[in-house]
């Protein structure tokens, strides 16, 4: 089994739920786990990983992985919202995965709402993490295509096309397919023409 994994997908594809379930199953089998979440992610709780389906697990909250290392008896580390950490933090995980028997499971987003890859997510690809795509469908009513992108909306329902890459919270986000992203973000329809 590879020691460094990246489970990625759009918002609402059950990343956090799968993390909690994975930790529960490992602990039940006698394999000690540690759950980590970034300090910036305080949407639902300060010190827990919470899934929208109602399950949660206690987590260690860190701003950075600098200076952190897993306990000696830890078998698996599960990290939620990995995209909020830095590439340097990912390099720390690489060293742990390569030099200890600890399995590292990262969960998070690949790209932001402006179709740009997050630096930590890019670093996971660069260092050869085993990739696991978690799938869900487009949140535009009636569409059953694979959700691959995010759209961010302001309070008036207009698409936001610039600003900070990291904006915590999902009340103004939708996970959408590539076609709806191109239509609503770029103004490009099925014929490939259009404007914003």
| Residues designated catalytic | 81
Task: Rounding to the nearest 10 degrees, give the CA dihedral for residues 56, 62, 67, 72.
Answer: -10
- Look at residues 77, 84, 142 and name the one whose alpha carbon lies nearest to residue 118: 84
């Amino acid at each position: 089994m590879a020691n460094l994994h990246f489970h990625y997908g759009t918002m609402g594809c059950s990343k956090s739920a799968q993390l909690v379930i994975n930790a529960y199953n490992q602990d039940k089998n006698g394999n000690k786990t540690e759950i980590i979440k970034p300090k910036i992610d305080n949407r639902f709780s300060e010190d827990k990983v919470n899934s929208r389906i109602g399950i949660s697990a206690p987590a260690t909250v860190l701003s950075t992985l600098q200076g952190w290392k897993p306990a000696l008896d830890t078998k698996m580390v599960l990290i939620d919202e990995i995209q909020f950490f830095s590439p340097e933090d990912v390099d720390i995980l690489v060293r742990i995965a390569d030099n200890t028997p600890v399995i590292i499971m990262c969960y998070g987003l690949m790209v932001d709402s402006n179709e740009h890859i997050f630096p930590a997510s890019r670093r996971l690809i660069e260092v050869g993490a085993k990739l696991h795509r978690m799938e869900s469908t487009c949140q535009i009513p009636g569409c059953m295509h694979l959700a691959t992108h995010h759209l961010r909306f302001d309070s008036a329902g207009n698409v936001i096309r610039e600003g900070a890459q990291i904006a915590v919270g999902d009340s103004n986000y939708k996970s959408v397919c590539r076609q709806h992203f191109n239509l609503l973000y770029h103004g490009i329809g099925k014929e490939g023409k259009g404007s914003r």
